[in-house]
């Protein structure tokens, strides 16, 4: 943005504090318009990512469609405002006028769900690995269990690699015509995370796990 009022946008780079790292699979790109609102195509959804320290203590960061940035759902606290409710009818007030508006905000996550229910393959025919869905969604902190069906053209041991805020069970098993792996969130971190399945014969495939509220 135009930080120095020169009329031309410039780029600033900020680094995380020492020991703080990106916990989710990607750091999202968020573009703001001149009103401070985000420019997410077709929606005023909430963009979420997570960071953690070396002790795996993490925080979720939300950027709403209105441009507000909050950490761990810490919504701003509005002060109590006193008002006069003794307005008389002689003050030219039309009590039939109603100002309507939305009573709730859009908390829809800005997550890529395009691979939900869409299978994917990787590797040569002799070592082909297949998943029944390249994207799944689960709720945070054990609120739900996701299931990924993994298949191999030829039986092979398959090992799951996943971040510390998720549990994949079993972590490894011999896969042939189709074996299930269960995915559960262990804490309150939200955002997209990668779970990679690697076969003993060398092929691998990654499933994006979107952890939501």
The tens digit of pLDDT for each residue in 37-79 reads 888 655 568 889 999 998 888 999 998 888 888 988 665 555 6
Q: What is the mean pLDDT of residues 78-107?
A: 61
Domain ranges across the chain: 120-212
Vertex 37, ends 35 and 41: CA angle to 5°? 125
Prediction pTM value: 0.77
| Nearest of 207, 71, 63 to residue 133 by alpha carbon | 207
Question: Domain 120-212 carries which CATH code?
Answer: 2.60.40.3450
What is the pLDDT at residue 2? Answer: 87
What is the pLDDT at residue 18? Answer: 92
Locate 170 and state its tokens.
């079993």
- Categorise residue 153: left if φ over 0, alpha if ψ from -120 to 50, beta otherwise: alpha
Give the helix, strand, coil percentages of the chain, each rounded to 5.
5, 40, 60
């Amino acid at each position: 943005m135009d930080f120095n009022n020169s009329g031309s946008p410039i780029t600033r780079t900020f680094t995380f504090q020492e020991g703080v790292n990106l916990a989710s699979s990607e750091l999202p790109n968020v573009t703001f318009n001149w009103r401070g609102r985000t420019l997410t195509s077709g929606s005023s959804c909430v963009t979420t990512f997570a960071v953690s320290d070396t002790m795996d203590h993490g925080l979720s960061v939300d950027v709403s469609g209105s441009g507000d940035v909050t950490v761990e759902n810490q919504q701003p606290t509005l002060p109590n405002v006193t008002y006069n409710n003794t307005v008389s009818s002689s003050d030219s007030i039309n009590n039939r006028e109603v100002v309507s508006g939305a009573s709730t905000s859009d908390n829809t996550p800005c997550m890529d769900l395009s691979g939900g229910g869409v299978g994917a393959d990787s590797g040569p025919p002799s070592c082909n690995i297949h998943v029944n869905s390249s994207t799944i969604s689960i709720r945070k902190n054990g609120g739900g269990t996701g299931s990924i069906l993994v298949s191999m053209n030829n039986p092979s041991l398959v090992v799951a690699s996943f971040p510390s805020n998720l549990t994949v069970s079993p972590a490894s098993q011999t896969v042939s015509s189709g074996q299930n792996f269960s995915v559960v969130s262990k804490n309150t971190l939200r955002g997209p995370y990668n779970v990679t399945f690697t076969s003993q014969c060398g092929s691998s495939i990654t499933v994006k796990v979107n952890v939501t509220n």
